[in-house]
Amino acid sequence: MINRAEIPEYAEDAALLRFYQLDSLEPEVWVDQVPLDDATVPADATLRHFSQRFDEPIKDSNSGSNDLQFADDTDPLGIRGSIFDDAAHHNVTNISQLKERSALVITNKSFQPRYFLQQVHKDTSYNELISGEERLRLSVDQRAEALKHLVHTNFDRFVSAKVTVDHVYEEMKSKQLNPEEEYGTGFLEKSLNEANSRADQIYGPIVERRQKVEKVRSTLTVLQRYKFFFNLPSNLLESIKQHKYEGAIRDYKKGKFLYHDLQKNHNADILDDMDNQEFRLGDDTNITELHRKVFEKVWTEVNKIVVELRGVLLKMLADPWRSMEEQEKTINFLFDLDTTEDPAWFYLDSQYQWIIGLLKETYETNVKKLNVHRAAHEIEESDTQRSLSLKKGIEQVRNKSFDVNTDRDPDNRYWRITSDLVKALSALLLRCLPDFWRLSKAFIEGKFAHKATTSKTSENDGGGRRRRQGVDLGKVEQCQSMTRNIVDMYAKLISDHFDLNVRDMPVQQNPDGTESVIMPTFIPINASSIHVSEYLTRIVGDLSHCVNDISAIHLAGEAFSGLTDLIEKARWKFVDIICKCWERDAKTFYLLEEWILDPEIPQCTGLLKRYYDYHKFCARSTFRISTHVVTMDDMANQTHERPEVKPEYVEKIRGSFLESTYTFLDGLVRLAFSDYTPLNEKEEVQLAKKRDKIDVHSMDMRILLTVGNLAHMRSTVIPKLVGLFKLAYKCNMDEDLKTLIEVVDQLDKILFNDYIKRKSGLMRDIIRQGILLSGVDWYNIPKPTEVHSYVYEALMTLVMVHSQVSSVTKQLVHRAVSALLENMANDCLESFRQVERFGMGGMLQATLEIEFMHQTLQQYVTSAASDTLQLIYQSIEQSYDAQQQNAGELQSELNHVKDLLVFSRKSTVVQFLCFKQNKDRSRK
């Protein structure tokens, strides 16, 4: 080890000054060290470590946090591996922390020994510090020794170099290399000028010809090298002719690259896209101004061809039947051709215009078909024609044959065209709108704008384009507006055709003072409620399916709201129309009565089954429309939970349900009292055969059949229909059912009493004639020998009534005969009360006749009739003159009357067999 005290003071100071390249031992400006040459680095590991550490540039304390990371954090005392903790060393966040850390680095000029010991070795023991001090001293001594060795080794070389430089300088001054002699170059310059002048005279013509040759060679080289560019116009035309647009665009991009390279206007985007880098020019290419003019002419021709190509591609882009993938490729082609307009927007706008035009064209085409059909089958409104249509519609409901022979049925044909109109518009919307919305979203997301330049976008936007999360809100608004317009056009065409914007249908005054609803123009004249219900339900179903499918593409709220509004207006309008047609047909439904007994329910006519089918079908159709259930089976066969119906729909449908029922019941009464008029004369012959013994021109027969119909309405039809309505619409119908039953009972009473009244009138005349006007002297007549003829006539009238009633409505026989018996008993009572006195013969004759009548009609005697008969016996007894009888004679005469009664009954058993009870008749 070299002791520091043994080195002379000046030698050590000089070595330090040379090593650190300092002018003074107390410098005022810090100068970064130049790293030592590799040859001067000591071999010792410890010395190498410190030499490398001291040779590193010292970072300024105000520099960034990264400077601290490059500083040597080795502990100079050799006690710790690093003077910093790893986390503290890498998480310097501000300048104050950086300064504190820099003061701990020994190589930093702001190093503070005291602060270093306080922060780094505050927990180090004294003995360890003493050992560290020895290690530090040893390291410094080794470095000092290395520096001395460096100076000593290279001192001779420095002295030798200095002497050599001085010698050369002195020799130059001795050879007149001074400013006055231009450092010896004047003579040389003169000789060179003379040689140059002579060379120009000798080689000038040769050089001139050489330049011409080089120009020709350069031109040939340019032509050969840029053969592709000069052939570009013809290549483009050929590619366009063969529809090889992708190849044409590729050639155009290559030519564009060459042209821009020649113009020294390199475009970074073009360079990145080019694959053929062999076309790029080097800096040594000899391109003259003449060549550039030729290139410009060629490029002008290329631009003309490209303009034509753009037109071809734009026509392809306007083709609505090409797929979106093909159109996307075409859009990219146009971007590559530097089109001046946005091809994506052109495509979007052309699609929008095409869809709008196609919707209008489709609507107009179907409307023309409707007008042609309407003109070919123009008829006047008629209850008879509408009833015929209703009858046909009910048969189609029963047979489910609405779609059979639609071309030959004018009514179905008209509705089929109307339904096709809605289907065509809906299918068109479903086919076009999803693709258009998908295209719009792609346009909004910039899928088609990857070639658009920022400057172009800025010009179009005027610097005011709003953006949010990378989405162009201007494009969003434009696309949403066009989508909304398409939906609105579809909704407008549907609304205008079905008059959906008019919520309530207008009413007109009829000449008879009644009011009638003016049906919308799309409802054909004489349309029945069956056809209206069936096809409006189908139309709502088509609209609902369309809206449901459109909702799957997640349109913007405003656009989709137009469809939901359309559905709501259509539902309300169609329900209103069905209800009005429902009520209108109920007024004339009685015209469908053919007076043919129902083979399944022989106590009533087939009219009730028709009415049930018609009434249930209308109620079911309104239910389906009002609840969006357009594919539901018969309401009576449903097992799943029923959807709710809005209250406003329930009230409207319920009103029509009740109104049509009351109207139908009124029609039954009208039917009974009006003479029969065939609905279709052509079918009357066949209908007459089916009626058998029913005389449709007999009021009695019509009344009896109507009373039978009312009975079945009361017991079955009305409760079943009300029950179905109550179940479907979830409303309370108890009071309505009670009222309907009361109305049926009132009508039944009116009709039945009218029939009984007329039959009773005939019997009253017979009885009065026989008792009071036939000349019988009830006081002086002899003992009875037979029943008077008027009794037989009255009973035969009852037999005729029994036969008439049992031939059509057997269930009314007992009711009719009992009622007639009560009236006949009252007539007998009234007539016998007018007889002043009865002798024995008159009393026995009257008793025989009343008893004969009583026993003959025994099973039809009601309590009221029994009471009346008792009153007759009392009346006869009160008017009897008891002075005419002898004791014991009365009893014998009564026995004679009994025998005569038995004989009379036996002799008339065949005539009055219909009045016998079934068990008695079976014995016979």
Reduced to 3 states, what is the DSSP secondary structure of residue 632?
A: coil
Q: Which residue type is seen at 238?
A: E
Residue among 833, 825, 826, 827 at smallest CA distance from 851: 825
Q: What own/partner pairs with CB < 8 Å and gap ≥ 24 does 241-249 have?
A: 245/309, 245/312, 245/313, 245/333, 246/333, 248/309, 249/333, 249/336, 249/337
Would the pLDDT of 277 be above 70? Answer: no
Q: What pLDDT, on a 0 to 100 scale, did the predictor assign at position 35?
A: 42
The candidate with the shortest Cα–Cα distance to 355, out of 416, 297, 428, is 428
The percent of residues above 90 in pLDDT, for the chain, comes to 30
Is residue 285's pLDDT more than 60? Answer: no
Model pLDDT, residue 459: 46
Out of 124-138, 339-353, 821-835, least confident range: 339-353
Looking at every residue in the chain, the average pLDDT score rounds to 79
User: How does pLDDT run across 764-792, given as a tens digit for each residue?
Assistant: 999 999 999 888 899 888 888 899 999 99
Residue 875: how many CA atoms within 13 Å on its side-chain side? 19
The answer, yes or no, to whether residue 466 has pLDDT greater than 90, is no
Contact 361, 421 (CB under 8 A): no
Instruction: Look up residue 705 and give its two tokens.
Output: 């059949």
pLDDT digits (tens, 9 = 90+) for 671-704: 999 988 888 888 888 888 888 778 888 899 999 9
- The whole-angstrom separation of Cα 539 and Cα 420 is 9
Residue-wise pLDDT for 155-213, tens only, equals 888 788 888 888 877 776 666 666 666 666 777 777 888 888 888 888 778 777 777 77
Contact 792, 766 (CB under 8 A): no
Among 614, 515, 618, residue whose Cα is nearest residue 574: 618
C-alpha 814/C-alpha 859 separation (Å) is: 9
pLDDT one-digit tens code per residue, 216-273: 776 666 666 777 777 778 777 887 777 777 777 787 777 777 777 776 543 333 334 4
Please give the Cα distance from 708 to 751 (Å, whole number). Answer: 10
Intra-chain end-to-end CA distance of the chain, in Å = 163
Better-scored residue on pLDDT, 19 or 625: 625
Give the pLDDT score at 557: 60
For residues 272 and 108, give the distance between their C-alpha atoms in angstroms, rounded to a whole number. Answer: 48
Per-residue pLDDT of 536-575, as tens digits, reads 999 999 998 988 888 877 776 666 778 888 999 999 999 9
Q: How far apart are CA 15 and CA 32, in angstroms?
A: 18
**SS3 of 597, please?**
strand
Nearest to 85 by CA among 77, 96, 75, 99: 75
Q: Domain-by-domain residue ranges, the chain? A: 4-170, 226-340, 376-460+467-577, 588-731, 757-923
Quickly tell me which residue has 């009464």 as its tokens. Answer: 669
Q: Could you tell me the two tokens for 225? A: 């090298």
Residues linked to residue 597 through DSSP beta bridges, in sequence order? 605
Decide if 413 contacts 406 (C-beta within 8 A).
Answer: yes
Reduce the secondary structure of 379-407 to three states and give it as a string: CCCCHHHHHHHHHHHHHHHHHCCCCCCCC
pLDDT in tens, 363-386: 999 999 999 988 887 788 888 999
Q: How far apart are CA 295 and CA 285, in angstroms?
A: 15
CA 175 to chain centre: 105
Q: What is the pLDDT of residues 89-109, one digit of tens each?
A: 555 555 666 677 777 888 777
Collapsed DSSP state (helix, strand, coil) of residue 924: coil
Spatial contact of 584 and 693, defined as CB atoms under 8 Å apart:
no
pLDDT tens for 577-613 read 999 999 999 999 999 999 998 888 888 899 999 999 9
pLDDT in tens, 288-337: 676 677 777 877 887 788 787 777 777 777 776 776 667 677 777 777 77
> What is the full DSSP assignment across 358-384?
HHHHHHHHHHHHHHHHHHHT-----HH
Residues 6 or more apart whose CB falls under 8 angstroms from that of 281 comprise 258, 261, 262, 287
pLDDT, residue 690, reads: 85
At position 52, the amino acid (one-letter code) is: Q
| H-helix or E-strand spanning residue 472 | strand 471-472
880-900 pLDDT, tens digit each = 877 665 555 777 778 888 999
In this model, does residue 411 exceed pLDDT 80?
A: no
CB burial of 515-547 (b: ≥16 within 10 Å; e: otherwise) equals eebebbebbbbbbbbbbbbbbbbbbbbbbbebb
pLDDT band of 872, cuts 50, 70, 90: very high
Rounded CA gap, 611 and 720, in Å?
13
Identify whether the C-beta of residue 626 lies closer than 8 Å to the C-beta of residue 643.
Answer: no
The DSSP line for 171-228 is: HHHHTT-SGGGGGGTHHHHHHHHHHHHHHHHHHHHHHHHHHHHHHHHHHHHHHHHTHH
- What are the tens digits of pLDDT across the range 55-85? 444 344 344 444 444 456 788 888 877 887 6
Rounded CA-CA distance 453/813 in Å is 99
Question: What are the tokens at 292?
Answer: 């550039």
| Percent share of the chain, pLDDT over 70 | 77
Q: So what's the pLDDT on residue 506?
A: 84
Max CA pair span of the chain: 212
Three-state DSSP class for residue 507: strand
Give the separation between CA 813 and CA 895, rounded to whole angstroms: 34
Predicted confidence (pLDDT) per residue in 733-760, tens digit: 999 999 999 999 999 999 999 999 999 9
| Average pLDDT for 626-648 | 63
